[in-house]
């Protein structure tokens, strides 16, 4: 079975010369929740707009359900739903009117619009408020209505651009619960952009980190976290009086241990390169041999935040350098012109 989304060598250069997307490639499997993470201006919205056919790419291969999106725009429109970064709700209309309007935009028959609008408003817990003007809705309700509108034509693939931006923690959690339900109840494929790492970690099967139009990392959250290494095992011993230095050396020699640091409370931090849970039994075995007891042990893994910093932090420094180089080049060109 083909993938829901396939992108190869996608490039977007805007008319003003901005290269918003710089040769990205990835695929999204059917039924997958795929996250695109990245700082402001990384190219997330541009990528989404190209995938749903709102923007033309400068170069690249794009397939939705195995179909070239430029050759079959009508099929792509039917197969995809899109909720933009800014909600597209008309606040002079009620919730019901907004979603019905969306159904007419897709030329759906009246009966289908009524059935589907009812189903979606119920799913997003908005049915009771359907007759109220959306001007009276909260930010979270507006976002839910916006997503419901994107689902009126039963798309197989849903694109959500920052669905939780600016919402409070509880409302964000609620939106993610709805997204999860869309996958389990309808088998939908979901492509989502976000700034919130904890959410991406919990919800996304795989995430791509994009920076300056380039994908700098792409994998499952767990693999990304394991990839940057640095699991930390905190361990406390008893019965080592006088043998601390020898113990540290022996721990340091255990496979995959990168560093051993004493902590302020008389314990040790063992930084490992691989999954820390696999090193812990080796520490126990070592202590058995040495006749030392482990009193306490805990494991801390890097978070997706750490991964993000790891990749975009470095990239942002590079970006600063390239911006500087750019500015310098402009000055040089200006001088050359004035010199003429
Ligand atoms: N219509 C446009 N014309 C020219 N440049 C644009 C246009 N739209 C976006 N850009 C530029 O393209 C780059 C990528 O923008 P994009 O909106 O895709 O980023 P983003 O990752 O969605 O950012 P954010 O997190 O702020 O939403 C930015 O440098 C932006 O200024
Ligand atoms: Mg954006």
49 C-beta closer than 6 A to ligand 1: no
Find the ligand nearest to 37 CA.
1
42 C-beta closer than 6 A to ligand 1: yes
Q: For residues 217 and 272, is the Cβ–Cβ distance under 8 A?
A: no
Q: Cα(41) to centroid of ligand 2, in Å? A: 7
Whether residues 9 and 32 fall in one domain: yes
> Rounded CA gap, 97 and 280, in Å?
59
Which residue minimizes the CA distance to atom 27 of ligand 1? 40
Whether residues 109 and 196 fall in one domain: yes
Which residue minimizes the CA distance to atom 24 of ligand 1? 40
Output the pLDDT for position 327.
52
Q: For residues 114 and 101, is the Cβ–Cβ distance under 8 A?
A: no
Output the pLDDT for position 317.
41
This prediction's pTM: 0.81
Q: For residues 207 and 200, is the Cβ–Cβ distance under 8 A?
A: yes
Output the pLDDT for position 329.
54
Q: Cα(162) to centroid of ligand 2, in Å? A: 7
Domain with residue 145: its CATH number is 3.40.50.300
Q: Which atom of ligand 1 is nearest to the CA of 195?
A: 25
Output the pLDDT for position 46.
97
Q: How many Cβ atoms from other residues are within 10 Å of residue 157's Cβ? A: 23
3-state secondary structure of 126: coil
Output the pLDDT for position 157.
97
Closest CA to 209 of 41, 40, 42, 36: 36
Domain with residue 274: its CATH number is 3.30.70.100
Output the pLDDT for position 315.
40
Whether residues 68 and 212 fall in one domain: yes
Whether residues 41 and 172 fall in one domain: yes
Whether residues 152 and 221 fall in one domain: yes
Whether residues 154 and 259 fall in one domain: no
Output the pLDDT for position 335.
44
Closest CA to 12 of 37, 38, 36, 48: 48
Low-confidence stretches of the chain (pLDDT beneath 50): 314-320, 323, 330-331, 334-340
Whether residues 126 and 203 fall in one domain: yes
Whether residues 119 and 244 fall in one domain: no
Output the pLDDT for position 318.
47
Q: Cα(18) to centroid of ligand 1, in Å? A: 9
Question: What DSSP string describes 221-282?
Answer: HHHHHHHT--EEEEEEEES-TT-HHHHHHHHHTSTTEEEEEE-TTS-EEEEESS-HHHHHHH
* Residue that the structure tokens 């709805």 belong to: 178
Closest CA to 44 of 164, 221, 215, 198: 215
Domain count, the chain: 2
Q: Cα(28) to centroid of ligand 2, in Å? A: 19
Output the pLDDT for position 320.
46
Output the pLDDT for position 2.
82
Structural domain including 264 reads 229-300
């Amino acid at each position: 079975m083909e993938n829901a989304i396939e992108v190869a060598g996608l490039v977007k250069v805007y008319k003003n010369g901005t290269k918003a997307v710089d040769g990205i490639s990835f695929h999204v499997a059917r039924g997958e929740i795929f996250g695109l993470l990245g700082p402001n201006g990384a190219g997330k919205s541009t990528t989404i707009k190209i995938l749903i056919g709102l923007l033309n790419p400068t170069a690249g291969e794009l397939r939705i359900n195995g179909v070239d999106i430029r050759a079959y725009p009508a099929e792509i429109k039917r197969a995809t739903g899109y909720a933009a970064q800014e909600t597209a709700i008309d606040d002079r209309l009620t919730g019901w009117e907004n979603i019905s309007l969306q159904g007419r935009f897709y030329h759906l028959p009246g009966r289908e619009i009524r059935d589907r609008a009812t189903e979606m408003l119920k799913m997003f817990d908005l049915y009771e408020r359907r007759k109220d003007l959306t001007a009276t809705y909260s930010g979270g309700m507006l976002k839910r209505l916006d997503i419901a509108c994107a689902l009126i034509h039963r798309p197989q693939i849903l694109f959500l651009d920052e669905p939780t931006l600016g919402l409070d923690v509880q409302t964000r959690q609620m939106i993610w619960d709805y997204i999860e339900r869309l996958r389990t109840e309808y088998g939908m494929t979901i492509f989502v952009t976000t700034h919130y790492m904890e959410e991406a970690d919990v919800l996304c099967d795989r995430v791509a980190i994009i920076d300056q139009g380039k994908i700098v990392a792409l994998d499952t959250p767990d693999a990304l976290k394991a990839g940057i290494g640095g699991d930390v095992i905190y361990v406390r011993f008893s019965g080592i009086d006088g043998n601390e230095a020898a113990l540290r050396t022996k721990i340091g020699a255990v496979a995959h241990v990168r560093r051993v640091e004493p902590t302020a409370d008389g314990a040790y931090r063992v930084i490992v390169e691989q999954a820390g849970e696999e090193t812990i039994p080796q520490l126990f075995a070592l202590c058995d041999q040495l006749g030392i007891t482990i009193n306490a042990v805990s494991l801390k893994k890097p978070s997706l935040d750490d991964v993000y910093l790891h990749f975009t932090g470095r990239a942002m420094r590079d970006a600063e350098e390239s911006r500087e180089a750019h500015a310098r080049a402009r000055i040089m060109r200006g001088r050359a012109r004035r010199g003429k």
